[in-house]
Structure 1
Amino acid sequence: MQLAPDIERRLERIGWRTQVLPSDVPAEWLVARVVVQHRAGYQLHDGDTLFNAQPAARFLKRDIDPTERPAVGDFVMFVPGAPPVIERILPRRTELRRGAAGENHQRQIIAANVDAVFVLNGLDGDFNPARIERYLLMIQSSGALPIVVLTKADRASDADDIFAELRQRVPPPLEMFAVNAKSADSVAPLVAYLGLGQTAVLVGSSGVGKSTLTNTLLGHERMATATVREHDSRGRHTTTHRALIQLPSGGCLIDTPGMREVKLTGEEELDRSQFADIDELASSCRFGDCGHVSEPGCAVRAALSDGSLDPARWQNYLKLRGELVAAADALEAQLRRKGENRVLTKSLGKRLHEK
C-alpha cells in the first residue's frame, strides 16, 4: 500500500520518509506521528493537525514488552473516531533505547525514527566526560548519528581547553560543538541536522540547556526554563515528558526530561563504540586472559605508563564493561524466565481444557 503524494508531502513536515505500508490494513486507517506520550494517552500529528488518541487494548497489557508500545517519534496507523485509536506501529528506522530505571531489567524507548541524537553537557560545574561516553555507548546501536553539544560556552573562560580535552576522549569523526544555547548564531551549525524530513532528539541531565536550546531553534520561548543550583550546576526538571516539536527549519526536535540514570540495555558493544581502540589495545596483550594489573607484556599497562591511554578513560571503560556484562546477563535471564513462564502457561491452559 502506497500513500498518495499529497499525503506524503504533508507527513514530511513531521519527519516522514517514504515507505510502503502493510498491504493488510483497512482503507480507513490513517497515518500520523506520536508527538507526546502521557498517562492519559497520546497526542498525534498528521502534518496538519494535532489531536489526542488512545492505544488499542493490546498495547495496554501488563506483560507486553515496553518497546512494543507506541513511543514518541513513532509513525502509527490509527482508526478515526471519538477518540481515534492507534492500531499499528509502522517499522522504526531507528530506535534509541535505555535500560528502564529500577531492577526490572526492561528496555525503554526514548525516541523512535530520529536521525540525530544531540548529547548535551554544560561547560560549567556539571561537565562530565564519563557521562558523555555513557550516552555515546547508549546511542551506538540506535542507528542514529550522535552529536556532542557542549552548552554554556559563553560562561566558560576555558571552553577551548575543555573542548580539546574532551576531543582526546571522543575522537573524530564524531561531531562536537561548543555553543551558547541562547544565541541563534551560535547554534546555527545544528540546523544542518534539522532540515525537512529530519528529526533529532535532545538528551542530557537536567540543567544542561535542552529547553533553552529548543526555544532558540524555535525562534520563540515555548519550553519552560529554570536556573541551575550554584553549588553543583544541576538543574530541576522543567521538561516533564517527551515531546516532538516542529521547527521553522522544516525538521523536528524531540525534547526529553533530564535523565537521572543512563542505564545500559545489555545490547551495546564496546568494540564497536568510541572504546574500540581500548578493546583492540587490550586484545594485543601477551596473554589472552590478561587482567591488566601486573601481568608481563600487558599493552594496557604500557599505554597507561607512557600516557597514550588516559587513566580516567580506562577506568570508565572498565566500569561500563562491568555494567554491560551485568545488564546482558540480566536480560538473558529475564528472556529465559519469560520463555519458561510461557511454556508453563500453555501447559496449565491445556490441563484446564482437558479437565
Structure 2
Amino acid sequence: MNLQSIGWNEQLEQEFKQLNDQHCLAVGRVATQHRNLYEIWTEKGKVTGNVSGKLRYQAETKSMFPVVGDWVAISMHEGEERATIQAILQRKSQFSRKVAGDTTEEQVISANVDTVFLVSALNQDFNVRRIERYLVLAWESGANPVIVLNKADLADDLEDKRQDVEAIAFGVPIIFVSCVTKQGFDDLQNYMQKGETVSLIGSSGVGKSSIVNMLTGEEKQQVQDIREDDHKGRHTTTHRELILLESGLIMDTPGMREIQLWGDEASVHSAFDDISELSSMCKFNDCQHQNEPGCAVRQAIEEGVVSGERYESYLKLQREMVYLADKKAYLQQVKERSRQIKKTIRKSRKYK
C-alpha cells in the first residue's frame, strides 16, 4: 500500500525519523477500531494491532489512545499480520466531544481529517441549532467544515432552508444532496483529493452511509429503509472506518446521539463570528449586550440582522464552554494534588 495515497507527507516523515532512532519501527494509519483492537494500514498491507503496555500506562486519558485516522509507530510481529502500537504521531486535526453523561472527559472521534461533512437531513431532522453545535466542534477540530443537507428530494423549500443555514454559517459551503436523484454528487466529489481525508459527521439516520455509497459507487456501507412514521433512516454504521478510494479517503462514523461540546470559547466565536464582530463594535469594551447605550449586538437584533434565537444559542453555548473550562480547571487541580500526595508518600517511604 502506498503511504502517500493514505495521507503520508514530509512533515510526518520527519517526525517519524526522530521517533524511530533505532530503525526498529514501522508506520501505519489506523483504519478501523474494534474496542481494543485496531486495523492498521501499512506499506506491506493490513495488520491487526493493539496498544503497548508502555503507551497504555502513559495515557492519562482516553483521548491519548489511538483513534481512526491516527498515524502510529508500530513494532511488527515477525511472520504474523500483527503489530503493537508504540506511539501516536502528532495529530494535525482531531474531532472531539465531551463524553456522554456527567464525566468531564474528552472523547476523540477521529483524527487527521482535512474536510468534515456535517450531514443533516432535510426532513424532520433539520435543525439549525444542532448545525450550530456541529460547527463549534468542527472549528475546534482544525478540519474545514462543509454543511451537507441530505434528502433534498423530500423537501420542497430548499431556498428557505439555504437561507436558514447561511444565516448561521457564514462562509461555510452548503451542498444539497439526494442519494435518490444524485443531486450534489459532483459537488461532494470536488472535496475528494488524493491523500486527503473527508469525514462524515451527523445524527443517526441522516443518510451518511448512503452518501458514502454514492461517493464510492458501490455498496460499501449497509443501509436500511426509511421508517414510514418519521421518514428517518435507521442507524446502520456501528464503528468508525476509513475507506480508500482512487480520489481520496472517506471516514464514515456512527450517528451522534448527543452533541456534547469540547473545546474553548474561541471555537464558539469562530462559529458565531457575526456576533463576535458586532461585539467589537459596541461602545463599551465590557458591554454585556443588555441595556447599555451603543450596543451593536442589541441594535442588530432589534433590526432583524441577527435573530434572537441565534443570540440565545450563542449565549447558551458560551455558558457551556465557561462551565466546561471551570470543570477542567478543577479536575486539573485535583489531579495535581493527587500527584503531590503520591510524591510525598514515595519520599516518606524512601527515607524510612
How high is the TM-score relative to the length of structure 2? 0.91
Give, as a single letter, the amino acid of the residue that structure 1 aligns with 2:275.
Answer: I
Matched, 1:15 2:41: no
Give, as a single letter, the amino acid of the residue that structure 2 aligns with 1:123.
Answer: L
Matched, 1:225 2:220: no
Distance 1:101 1:234, change over 3 A: farther
- Asked if the contact 1:217/1:247 (under 8 Å) is kept, the reply is no
CA distance in 2, matches of 1:76, 1:287: 50
CA distance in 1, matches of 2:292, 2:344: 53
1:245 is aligned, of 235, 243, 246, to 243
User: Which sections of structure 1, spanning at least 5 residues, go unmatched?
Assistant: 1-6
Residue 283 of structure 1: how far off its partner (Å): 4.2
* Structure 2 equivalent of residue 74 of structure 1: 70
* Structure 1 equivalent of residue 331 of structure 2: 334
* Structure 1 equivalent of residue 176 of structure 2: 178
CA distance in 1, matches of 2:90, 2:3: 16
1:345 is aligned, of 324, 342, 345, to 342
Residue 41 of structure 1: how far off its partner (Å): 1.0
* Structure 2 equivalent of residue 35 of structure 1: 31
- Asked if the contact 1:12/1:47 (under 8 Å) is kept, the reply is no
Residue 143 of structure 1: how far off its partner (Å): 1.9
Matched, 1:273 2:270: yes
- Asked if the contact 1:182/1:212 (under 8 Å) is kept, the reply is no
- My pick for the range that moved more, 154-163 or 271-280, is 271-280
- Asked if the contact 2:268/2:314 (under 8 Å) is kept, the reply is no
Residue 237 of structure 1: how far off its partner (Å): 2.7
Q: Give the secondary structure class of the aligned counterpart of 2:223.
A: coil
Q: Give the secondary structure class of the aligned counterpart of 1:237.
A: coil
Distance 1:182 1:332, change over 3 A: farther
Q: Give the secondary structure class of the aligned counterpart of 1:44.
A: strand
CA distance in 2, matches of 1:202, 1:134: 15
Distance 1:229 1:300, change over 3 A: farther
Q: Give the secondary structure class of the aligned counterpart of 1:317.
A: helix
Residue 297 of structure 1: how far off its partner (Å): 3.6
Residue 62 of structure 1: how far off its partner (Å): 9.2
Residue 86 of structure 1: how far off its partner (Å): 0.7
CA distance in 1, matches of 2:295, 2:227: 44
Q: Deviations over 1:84-103 (max 9, x none)?
A: 10111112122222112222
Residue 119 of structure 1: how far off its partner (Å): 0.3
- My pick for the range that moved more, 180-189 or 112-121, is 180-189
Q: Give the secondary structure class of the aligned counterpart of 1:252.
A: strand
Q: Give the secondary structure class of the aligned counterpart of 2:190.
A: helix
- My pick for the range that moved more, 210-219 or 158-167, is 158-167
Residue 146 of structure 1: how far off its partner (Å): 0.7
Distance 1:112 1:322, change over 3 A: same
Matched, 1:202 2:200: yes
Equivalences, count: 345
- Asked if the contact 1:211/1:239 (under 8 Å) is kept, the reply is yes
CA distance in 2, matches of 1:354, 1:237: 60
Residue 287 of structure 1: how far off its partner (Å): 4.5
Distance 1:143 1:24, change over 3 A: closer
* Structure 2 equivalent of residue 162 of structure 1: 161
1:258 is aligned, of 238, 255, 258, to 255
- Asked if the contact 2:55/2:87 (under 8 Å) is kept, the reply is no
Distance 1:271 1:76, change over 3 A: closer
Identity over the aligned pairs, expressed in percent? Answer: 38
User: Which sections of structure 2, spanning at least 5 residues, go unmatched?
Assistant: none
Residue 234 of structure 1: how far off its partner (Å): 4.5
- Asked if the contact 2:95/2:110 (under 8 Å) is kept, the reply is yes
- My pick for the range that moved more, 281-290 or 134-143, is 281-290
Distance 1:292 1:230, change over 3 A: farther
* Structure 1 equivalent of residue 137 of structure 2: 138
Give, as a single letter, the amino acid of the residue that structure 2 aligns with 1:22.
Answer: K
* Structure 2 equivalent of residue 114 of structure 1: 113
Residue 118 of structure 1: how far off its partner (Å): 0.6
- Asked if the contact 1:265/1:328 (under 8 Å) is kept, the reply is no
- My pick for the range that moved more, 178-187 or 146-155, is 178-187
Q: Give the secondary structure class of the aligned counterpart of 2:179.
A: coil
Q: Give the secondary structure class of the aligned counterpart of 1:273.
A: helix
Q: Deviations over 1:144-170 (max 9, x none)?
A: 111111111111111122112211221
Alignment of 1:291-310 (within 5 A): 291-310=288-307
Tell me the C-alpha RMSD between the 2 structures.
2.1
Distance 1:24 1:324, change over 3 A: closer
Distance 1:315 1:232, change over 3 A: farther
Residue 48 of structure 1: how far off its partner (Å): 5.3
CA distance in 1, matches of 2:230, 2:159: 21
- Asked if the contact 1:141/1:268 (under 8 Å) is kept, the reply is no
Q: Give the secondary structure class of the aligned counterpart of 2:195.
A: coil
